[in-house]
Amino acid sequence: MERRSECVRSAPLPITTLGKDLRLSVSVELKIDEVRTQILDFPRFDKPGLPQLHGFFQLWRYPRTFSHSSVLSDVNFYDLHITHYVAQKGTGRSRLPHPGMFEDFFPRIVRRLVRNNVLTLFVRGVDRDHFDEVRVIESVLAPRHLRYILLSNPPTVRMDPRIQVGVGNLLFEWSADALGYVAEQWFETPAIEIEGYIASESSLGLIARLYFEPDCEEAIRELIRGIDLGFRLWPDNNGLFLVSDKLDREALEARLELADLNAELSEAAPRYQGGEK
């Protein structure tokens, strides 16, 4: 049985200006930020804990040293989060997007992104105590007759004595109707990372081929060309990083049915005001 994450669901601090509580007057919505300029400024990510492209399709292949941003200049990059915030001690940041609320809405957000397409997930834990690939294959994927590939660890993982070598990288197709299971079982920050690829047909073959090629800008561009969009869950499990060369902002908002989704978010927000739901 996979472990259930203990997600932070504490109440957000009041947002105040000139002594007035503005919490109820500020709308709660899914905020879409276009971040291409920041993401393609590769030198700014030359710091520990700041992987280029936020680690999208890195799959534990280290180090990543991209320098040709022009290869990705026609790709759209977005950050998505819900504008409902919670204080977190010890981070140096006064507010963070509420992880409990995002966990609850993750299934319906991603389901709208998937529509009738094929969803492929990459899930990996820091060790097999947090995410056991073999157990997931045996108890989750095989009984559901889902397609998957288990890719051997890259050389950098096998040669680094600081890294506990697992069985490899597991990628598998997943039903958009079962995304609640993903949030319930695998939202465990920072021990588990989750990434997804949405395409009109299976992308497992493309992913496997590109995985064994050098990790470079051209390989990323080929992956993006072969899918509708890709996403990566933020490390705090409270937002998504999106990558696509097919969905501009207008198309993304249409895919999300953003007006209806924001109405649902505003209606649900009061449930997250007073501590745990």
**How many residues does the structure list for the chain?**
277
In DSSP terms, 113 is beta-bridged to: none
Q: How many CB atoms lie within 10 A of CB 53?
A: 22
Closest CA relative to residue 34, chosen from 233, 196, 251: 251
The list of the chain residues with pLDDT below 70 reads: 1-26, 88-94, 156-165, 274-277
Per the CB < 8 A criterion, the answer to whether 199 and 247 are in contact is no
Give the Å distances, CA to CA, from 113 to 38, 118, 260: 23, 11, 14
Residues with Cβ within 8 Å of 27's Cβ and at least 6 positions away in sequence, in order, are 83, 262, 266
Closest CA relative to residue 106, chosen from 259, 193, 233: 233
Q: How many CB atoms lie within 10 A of CB 227?
A: 23
Would the CA dihedral through 231, 235, 72, 38 be positive or negative? positive
Per the CB < 8 A criterion, the answer to whether 102 and 237 are in contact is yes
Q: What is the pLDDT of residue 176?
A: 98
The model's pLDDT over 90-99, given as tens digits with 9 standing for 90+, comes to 655 668 999 9
Distance CA 57, CA 211 (A): 8
Per the CB < 8 A criterion, the answer to whether 51 and 45 are in contact is yes
Q: Output the pTM of the full model.
A: 0.86
